[in-house]
Structure 1
Amino acid sequence: MEYTQLGRTGLKVSRLVLGTMNFGPQTDEPDSHAIMDAALDAGINLFDTANVYGWGENKGRTETIIGNWFAKGGDRRDKVVLATKVYGNMAPDGDPWPNHDKLSAKNIRRAVDASLKRLQTDHIDLYQFHHIDRATSFEEIWQAVDVLIQQGKILYVGSSNFPGYKIAQANEIAQRRGGTIGLVSEQCLYNLAERRAEMEVIPAAQDYGLGVIPWSPLHGGLLGGVIKKQVQGGRRASGRAADALNDPTVRARVQSYEDLLDQHGLEPGETALAWLLTRPGVTGPIVGPRTTEQLESALRATELNLSDDVLKGLDDIFPGPGPSPEAFAW
């Protein structure tokens, strides 16, 4: 496994990130523990989760599964760079009381303590804002973060799903306040089929020294060989991939993608991950395996060296928008 610095920090993280969103809803606790053990054995050290994972009445379940894994010992917690998120509403279902969501100082303090309890640890390495909060100023947010850093409960702070201007605003305010490290990472939707982050989010992240952590690297399965799987095994696409394939233009583009990779003897899912590892500013994509076999497939992507011909072919099929403002102006 290769490692890189997380943005402008001295923290070294793996080029693949283990996403845990499926732990609980789709993967039971024993299998989730087996996947985490396999990821650690393979050298993956950045584990990503969120307080809302588990969803609905089971929100928080994913953090609990990770905490039970840490409790097994064996230096598990020491080896992992632990990332979780705050924003979603964590109030019990049917509870009408406010201040259980978003980024007020009150909720940040409440959410950190609750995550620490579920995760069975005394600190979170990377605490991420899951979405922008239009009602809360960054002055308030950074004041809350400063206290938590001083208490040793969090070490670094990142964002997720932020537009470029909010990345800039957050870090400019952090710099003016002094003593606040500001955002060190941005977790955004970015893959071959969805490249709008290249317009402003990724340039802003690079200018402010944030590591970029792409989520949904296979675009909901669309880039994982979905048409080939339908033909060979009769498996029908579902969810986002099925909806996208209903568009004839998208289906033709995905077919061209799969045909290109067939010509070069490459697997679609592994190639989509390997492509992200070639992109400027990318720390590592998040992979969310439901099984150890899916994890093994993702790991093979780190060993792929895509040729110039393949990279050009991918750009031809999935052209990016280009930088801002040229993407929409002269």
Structure 2
Amino acid sequence: MEFTHLGRTGLTVSRLCLGTMNFGPQTEEPVAHAIMDTAHEQGINFFDTANGYGGAERRGWTEEILGRWFASGGGRRERTVLATKVYGDMGSWPNEGKLSALNIRRALDASLKRLQTDYVDLYQFHHVDRATPWEEIWQAVEVAVAQGKILYAGSSNFAGWHLAQAQAAAAKRNLLGLVSEQSLYNLMVRDIELEVIPAAEHYGLGIIPWSPLQGGLLGGVVRKTNEGVRRLEGRSAASLEEHREQLTAYEELADELGHEPGDLALAWLLHRPAVTAPIIGPRIPEQLDGALRAVDIILDEATLDRLDEIFPGRKTAPEDYAW
């Protein structure tokens, strides 16, 4: 496994981040524990979760699964850089969601209890809260840091100007501010190249891409559907038909290079500016084994150019749409 720093921090994390959203609803707890053990064995020390994971009827379930894994000992918590999130509604009563100082305090304490730990390494705002001023958010973070409950703060699903706004407010308080941004980013969806990635590079934030395979479309879906291995319905089927020509060309390139399509998609992200670690979210152990191959793939400029031809990217704004 390769390691890097998370953004401008001194925190060392693996180049792959283990996403746990499937744990509980789709992956039974013993299997989830086995996946996490394997991740540690393979050098993955960066785990991502959220307080709302577990499904609408059982929010917090995923954190509970991680908590019981940590509680089983063996240095599991100590060897893990743990990231969780706050924002989504955890109940129907007022102040059970968003980023008010009150909810941040309560949600953090609830996450710590479920996770069976006394601190979170990276506490992420799952979405921008347009109703709460940054002065209030950073005050709550400052208190939590002073209490030793969190070490770093990150964002998720922020626009570039939101990152600038957050960092300006943090600077007024002499705080470190955001150290990471978790965004939708993959070969097919490259919108954050307009402003989010340039902002992240400017402020020293590490990009943590989610959905690196675009819901499985970059994981060899054309071949799998042709062979009857996978069947798509609804929006996924429509998306496949819309992008079939691109995806076919992409899978042919992967075959030419001798890589699995999913490995190639992850490797491409590892070559992108500011990217710290794409999130892999295995439902079964075999999916984790496959993702690990991506770290060892080196893509030359000719291959990167061919990928850009198949899936055109975005220029930095404003040059993308103006002179």
Q: TM-score, normalised by structure 2?
A: 0.98
**Alignment correspondent of 1:218:** 213
Distance 1:234 1:12 in 2: 38
| Structure 1 spans left out of the alignment, 5+ residues | none
Q: Please state if 1:252 is matched with 2:253.
A: no
Distance 1:240 1:86 in 2: 28
Distance 1:76 1:307 in 2: 37
**Alignment correspondent of 1:122:** 118
1:236 Cα offset (Å):
1.4
**Alignment correspondent of 1:7:** 7
1:294 to 266, 284, 287: 287
1:235-314 aligned at under 5 Å gives the runs 235-238=230-233, 241-247=236-242, 250-314=243-307
Q: Please state if 1:319 is matched with 2:315.
A: no
Deviations 1:167-217 (A, max 9, x none): 000001100122x11000000000000011111001101100101000000
**Alignment correspondent of 2:20:** 20
Distance 1:243 1:157 in 2: 37
Give the residue type in structure 1 aligned to 2:94.
Answer: P
CA, structure 1 residues 152+206, in 2 after alignment: closer, same or farther (shift >3 Å)? Answer: same
SS in structure 2 at match of 1:246? helix
Give the residue type in structure 1 aligned to 2:58.
Answer: N
**Alignment correspondent of 1:149:** 145
Deviations 1:12-34 (A, max 9, x none): 00000000000001000000000
CA, structure 1 residues 234+149, in 2 after alignment: closer, same or farther (shift >3 Å)? Answer: closer
SS in structure 1 at match of 2:163? helix
**Alignment correspondent of 2:55:** 55
Q: Please state if 1:30 is matched with 2:30.
A: yes
1:88-107 aligned at under 5 Å gives the runs 88-91=88-91, 95=92, 97-107=93-103
**Alignment correspondent of 1:158:** 154
Deviations 1:217-267 (A, max 9, x none): 0000110000001112342134653231132xx111111111122222221
Give the residue type in structure 2 aligned to 1:255.
Answer: T
Distance 2:230 2:284 in 1: 18
1:203-214 aligned at under 5 Å gives the runs 203-214=198-209
CA, structure 1 residues 177+24, in 2 after alignment: closer, same or farther (shift >3 Å)? Answer: same
Q: Please state if 1:202 is matched with 2:197.
A: yes
Distance 2:268 2:274 in 1: 13
Give the residue type in structure 2 aligned to 1:147.
Answer: V
Give the residue type in structure 2 aligned to 1:216.
Answer: S
Distance 1:267 1:298 in 2: 10
2:127 to 122, 125, 131: 131
CA contact (8 A) 1:220 1:239 kept: no
Q: Please state if 1:177 is matched with 2:173.
A: yes
Identical residues among aligned pairs (%): 64
**Alignment correspondent of 1:74:** 74
| Structure 2 spans left out of the alignment, 5+ residues | none
Distance 1:50 1:318 in 2: 31
Give the residue type in structure 2 aligned to 1:209.
Answer: G
CA contact (8 A) 1:220 1:240 kept: no
SS in structure 2 at match of 1:236? coil
SS in structure 2 at match of 1:170? helix
Give the residue type in structure 1 aligned to 2:158.
Answer: F
CA, structure 1 residues 189+317, in 2 after alignment: closer, same or farther (shift >3 Å)? Answer: same
Distance 1:329 1:74 in 2: 56
Q: Which runs of 4+ in 1 moved over 3 A?
A: 238-241
Q: CA RMSD in A?
A: 1.0
SS in structure 2 at match of 1:212? strand
Give the residue type in structure 2 aligned to 1:29.
Answer: E
